[in-house]
Structure 1
Amino acid sequence: MHQHRDIRPRATQQCRMTLPSTAPHLRPVTLAKAYRLLNHGPTVLVTSAHGGQRNVMAAAWNMALDFDPPKVAVVIDKATHTRALVEASGNFALNLPCRAQAAATLAVGQWSGRDVDSSTDAPDKFAMAGLDVWQPEVEGARDWPMVVGSVACLACRVIPEPHNQARYDLFLAEVVGAWADERVFADGHWHYDNETDPGLRTLH
């Protein structure tokens, strides 16, 4: 009889839902509803950090994968600097940029994190694109740089799947923390209407 393999991380720690002073409209999202942050197909900013380095990249190929525990899938090409940091740390964050951040999202998609130090005056792609960050509070980890101004952020812990990662550049992860802007996401649902500030709409 075929047995389903348990792919959950063995020592999952849920992030404390700390709210940054730089993002006053963010509110915690119940993890069982975290999949709803991604099910409308937004472009995301994948952020990562390890060993004093950090990086950010834009990614259109991402999706919610499961409900409880919540999981996500995202394609991270092996040629990217983000890939190296994610593999080293075992963590990444998905940030949903809004229309007001469209220029910054385009900018981080045009540069490699490996080239920034040598070709610009900026220390990394965050600085180059004018993106500030905040960190969720979790014991023993600071590998989730969250982008200030994003309308949602998800802290993700990699579920090791070496075959998928090597062959398809596909990363699976469990969501251990989620936040969203209360002006556009509340009670587990997005709330966009004609009165919504256009700058708060997600990118696609």
Structure 2
Amino acid sequence: MIKSINLSLVYRLLNHGPTVLISSAHNGKQNIMAAAWVTPLDFDPPKVTVVIDKNTYTRELIEASGTFAINVPCVAQIEVVQKVGTNSGRDLHGTDKFAEYGLDTFASTHITAPLLQGCVAWLECKIIPEPHIQNTYDLFVAEVVAAYADERVFSNGKWHFEGYPDLRTIHHVAGGHFFATGESHQAGHEG
């Protein structure tokens, strides 16, 4: 069900602008947070940008480890996205969001951050240090070193959600309100 994605196609996992979950880990601690400002940046090697506020616990772990994972959640995970996006990992006093919310994970292959089960895509990322833009704009640039997708909804380099409404990617609008990715339409075809 989970299939490795050719790195030349990584941009297609994110170019429709889904809300994502950023997971991080360092020195036995881990965290996960929601993020809406994640963008493909380059093709070869594949790069992404992500905005991570300097006050977040996730950022502390990312800066310490130099890595993070992008998890692309789906409609079935809206409640999880809302919970991890509105509560700080710093406030859990000795536990972490994965334990607090009973989130199942699996191991990444090139980094230490865990990957969240139930998502429809995952990207393992290594930070390309750019201290000025990180400190001034909270913007991180990273190289994608591995990527995976649920082949039920992503194969042959394309998303196809037909028949899997709960696996559609989501877009946070505001105040706990989300849109799901809609129908697919092909240019140049009738109907």
Q: Return the TM-score normalized by structure 2.
A: 0.87
Structure 2 residue corresponding to 1:133, chosen from 92, 102, 105 = 105
Provide the C-alpha distance between the structure 1 equivalents of 2:102 and 2:164, rounded to a whole number of angstroms: 21
How much does 1:130 deviate? Answer: 2.4
Contact 1:44–1:97 (Cα < 8 Å) also in 2:
yes
- Please state how far the C-alpha of 1:66 moved relative to its aligned partner: 0.7
The answer to whether structure 1 residue 26 and structure 2 residue 2 are counterparts is yes
Is the Cα contact below 8 Å between 1:104 and 1:130 reproduced in 2? no
- More RCO (CA 8 Å, sep 6+): 1
8 Å Cα contact 2:125/2:142 also seen in 1: yes
Structure 2 residue 137 is matched with structure 1 residue 168: yes
Q: CA deviation at 1:126?
A: 1.3
| Residue 41 (structure 2) aligns with | 65
What amino acid is the match of 1:163? H
RMSD: 1.0
The percent of aligned pairs where both chains have the same amino acid is 57
Equivalent position of 2:177 in the other structure: none
In structure 1, the residue corresponding to 2:54 is in which secondary structure? coil
In the TM superposition, structure 1's runs of 4+ consecutive aligned residues that sit over 4 Å from their partners are none
The answer to whether the 8 Å contact 2:30/2:113 transfers is: no
Contact in 2 for aligned 1:49/1:145 (Cα 8 Å): yes
Alignment of 1:150-161 (within 5 A): 150-161=119-130
Q: CA deviation at 1:147?
A: 0.4
The one-letter code matched in structure 2 to 1:50 is H
Amino acid at match of 1:128: E
Task: Select the structure that is richer in strand.
Answer: 2
Q: Does 1:79 align with 2:48?
A: no
Deviation of residue 186 (structure 1)? Answer: 0.1
Q: Flag structure 2 segments of 5+ consecutive residues without an equivalent.
A: 172-191
What amino acid maps onto 2:5 in structure 1?
Answer: V
Runs of at least 5 residues in structure 1 that lack an aligned partner in the other structure: 1-24
Matched with 1:10 is none
Instruction: Provide Cα deviations, 1:144-196, integer angstroms capped at 9, x if missing partner.
Output: 21001110000000000000000000000000000000000001111123xx2
Which residue of structure 1 lines up, in the alignment, with residue 147 of structure 2? 178
Partner amino acid for 2:98?
F
In the alignment, the residues of structure 2 paired with residue 129 and residue 34 of structure 1 have an alpha-carbon distance, to the nearest angstrom, of 29
Match of 1:90 among 60, 66, 72: 66
Equivalent AA in structure 2 for residue 184 of structure 1: V
For 1:48-63, what aligned pairs fall within 5 Å after superposition?
Answer: 48-63=24-39
Displacement of 1:105 in angstroms is 0.5
Letter of the 1:187 counterpart: N
Which amino acid in the other structure matches residue 154 of structure 1?
L
The answer to whether the Cα contact below 8 Å between 1:28 and 1:179 also exists between their aligned partners in 2 is: yes
Written as runs of structure 1 = structure 2, the 5 A alignment for 1:99-114 is 99-114=75-90
Q: What residue is the counterpart of 1:203 in the other structure?
A: 170
